[in-house]
């Protein structure tokens, strides 16, 4: 068995178990069993359950943040088109990564100091990318200029997160909900 596939199986097992049972109710032994490896194998790749958890959260957030930054740099799109693409990107991530979203929310409910700082830093990166696009739209007259770009970015990301909270409900029609979010946001910010 390849080393990478063992590590990947551990990550997938951890995502599944953390989402189902919660971080605190999941043991390293259960993760190893789910992945089909010996318990010691977990420690070959990760120094602790916490490191495994954080690796999953941070890599997911960095993936989204990198895509946000690339979207912000697109010169062939309007600010409105970029914001729509960002909203659809987040929704796609939430839809595909429901278990990771549930993991994050479970720990958000009782955050430790390190968790809070890490999440705040990752969120700040996302807000700055979206705010850059909003500022661009405000400067070129596409978007209303009487709202601070960072406040608006925070609102947009919060609206997306609230609408696609898998721990509250399962969405029947993701596209319909996405279109509704876009309609509400753009009705309030487009010039």
Distance CA 50, CA 23 (A): 9
Assess whether 60 and 127 both reside in one domain: yes
DSSP string over 120-152: HHHHHHHHHHHHHHHHHHHHTTSB-SSS-HHHH
Assess whether 18 and 70 both reside in one domain: no
For the stretch 75-119, pLDDT in tens is 899 999 999 998 888 888 777 777 777 777 666 655 566 667 777
Reply yes or no on whether the pLDDT at 166 is more than 70: no
How many domains does the chain fold into?
2
For the stretch 137-153, pLDDT in tens is 999 999 999 999 999 99
**Per mean pLDDT, which range of 23-32, 62-71, 128-137, 144-153 is the poorest?**
62-71
Assess whether 67 and 39 both reside in one domain: no
Average pLDDT over residues 56-71: 84
CATH number (domain holding residue 20): 1.10.10.60
Distance CA 131, CA 137 (A): 10
Assess whether 68 and 144 both reside in one domain: yes
Provide the b/e sequence for 50-71 (b: ≥16 CB within 10 Å).
eebbbebbeebbeebbebbeeb
Q: Measuring CA to CA, how many Å separate 153 from each of 11, 25, 87, 147?
A: 31, 35, 11, 10
CATH number (domain holding residue 94): 1.10.357.10
Distance CA 139, CA 78 (A): 12
Assess whether 58 and 111 both reside in one domain: yes
Assess whether 63 and 12 both reside in one domain: no
Provide the domain limits for residue 110. Answer: 54-189
Assess whether 66 and 140 both reside in one domain: yes
């Amino acid at each position: 068995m390849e080393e990478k596939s063992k590590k990947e199986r551990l990550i997938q097992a951890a995502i599944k178990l953390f989402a189902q049972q919660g971080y605190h109710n999941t043991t390293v032994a259960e993760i190893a069993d789910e992945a089909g490896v010996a318990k010691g194998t977990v420690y070959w790749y990760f120094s602790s359950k916490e490191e495994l958890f954080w690796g999953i959260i941070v890599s997911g957030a960095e993936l989204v943040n990198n895509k946000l930054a690339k979207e912000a740099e697109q010169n062939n799109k309007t600010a409105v088109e970029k914001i729509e693409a960002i909203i659809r990107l987040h929704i796609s991530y939430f839809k595909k990564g429901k278990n990771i979203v549930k993991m994050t929310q479970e720990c958000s409910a009782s955050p430790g100091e390190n968790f809070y700082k890490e999440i705040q830093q990752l969120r700040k990166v996302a807000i700055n990318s979206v705010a850059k696009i909003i500022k661009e739209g405000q400067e070129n007259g596409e978007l209303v200029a009487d709202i601070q770009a960072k406040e608006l970015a925070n609102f947009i990301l919060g609206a997306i997160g609230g609408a696609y909270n898998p721990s509250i409900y399962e969405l029947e029609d993701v596209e319909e909900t996405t279109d509704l979010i876009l309609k509400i946001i753009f009705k309030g910010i487009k010039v």
